[in-house]
A and B are shown apart, each in its own frame.
Chain A
Amino acid sequence: MTEMVYGTVRTRTGEPILPRWWRTVDRWTIVCIFALFGIGLLLGLAASAPLAEKHSFAPTHYVERQALFGAMGLTAMILLSMLPPEAIRRLATLGFVAAFVALALLPIFGQDFGKGATRWYSLGFATLQPSEFLKPVYVVFCAWLIAASSEVSGPPGKTVTLALTGVVVGLLAIQPDFGQSALILFSWGVMYFVAGAPMFFLIALAFAVLGAGMLAYNSSEHFARRIDGFLSTEVDPTTQLGYAANAIREGGFLGVGIGEGAVKWSLPDAHTDFIIAVAAEEFGLLLVLVIIGLYFTVVFRSLARLIVERDPFVRLAGCGLVSIFAVQAMINMGVAVRLLPAKGMTLPFVSYGGSSLLAGGITLGMLLALTQKRPQGAIRDAFRGGAL
């Protein structure tokens, strides 16, 4: 009777969103990402002050902007991490179309800000780098196609994505942005590898990348200068690399102290590409190892989760996303320690940069969504009896 009058008590059919999210999401990764962002803000306080001073801004101008973009990026991450994989796939496909168009139109509408590469759209209050946003959605889109190709009568996903990768890399190379090109190629290679690529093909691919690199070296002044700078045995201390290496040496194990570093005054990109040098100089090897540890924790947690994943799409997209995240971090730090030639690549979540932070949030949000704990049909296997 009561029910007839007042209606039935509203009951949920499924599990509430937040508890389910909290239960299934990889909380370690979230903690690591927040820690990285916190470190980034801390370093930004030191590293971006000289630049702010140069442009007559308040000393904390860039830190405030980074906090704002970071909040946006982290929000995007949390929101995306609540979505089911199917929704991620749909959004990423739409996002890929948008980012691809944006990338293709860069030569017409883009800005180069005097840095010798047309990579940005100017939006007035901020600049937007489409290639940053392209990376995660490209990975998810390709993962979808490759996963589908493994089904009986599936589309030829591997071939299609290879062609697509060629087009994207070509668009990036004409900016020129060889770092992002390498990243895109690498992430495709990882997905193809995990999807069961023949070893022979992977080796051939490695040679092809080498050949393309040589071609770029011979035809692009921009590229050749950086490789030359890397290959010369004596590092010139007046180059960015020299300053970065010297800063790491100055820092030693415990650093010269907060705000005491000198490299940020010499390096124009101290707050972006060479933030790790600032970290090493002011806080020493200790903080650098903490940062590396945080990145590796994220990578390790994700891979450990993906290794038991049943769904090929989730597996591929997950390892693609985690590899662009990890490789970007590795390239950035590898440049600072001269393991790699100089590349304009940010350190995810630590470097200053609106596009980088937002895109990083999207990447990690998608990764978290894909690595949520889900039933993996292990019981079904048990019933299937003797299968594999």
Chain B
Amino acid sequence: MNLFTILISTIFVKNYVFAQFLGICPFLGVSNKTETATGMGLAVTFVVTLSSVITWVIQKTILDKFGLQYLQTIVFILVIASLVQFVEMFLKKSSPNLYKALGVYLPLITTNCIVLGVAILNIEQKYNIIETIVNSLGASIGFAIALLLMAGIREKFDFADIPKPLQGFPIGLITSGLMAIAFLGFYGIV
């Protein structure tokens, strides 16, 4: 599979939020404003891409060599947690406002299943290092797009006449379901 196909298929066809249902928590939690959604998208992109590269290297150079594949989950989580800590420190220093806006969802990137999911799927698909980078970049761009689309729609909720029982979270769930169906339309492109 060439790199372009991997990129397009992870962004649209196999979109991690809409087609594989990973990373739903921050998708619903941080999609209230486009501004914070952009920040979250960038933070996740950084963490996913870097953690995929590091976990790939660790898997190939250490785990496979010593036959320690069963330690995969705990080692990957260790890498992800450290990276998220690093991103948190970096954001606190460089952009305090974004740090405040992301709030609790920033440390929660650690437990965002999209990060671990991409890292493990890279190994399972037997990607090489270049394909790993492209795949994780595509996954996080797909996540960022999903987040931004959702935030754009949710901002319009304020002006919409939504029936009372559906206001707030329920309409968010319905919207994301409809968006997932819409993304089904990309099936068959690749």
Q: Determine if chain A interacts with chain B.
A: no
Residues of chain B whose beta carbon lies under 8 Å from any beta carbon of chain A: none
Residues of chain A whose beta carbon lies under 8 Å from any beta carbon of chain B: none
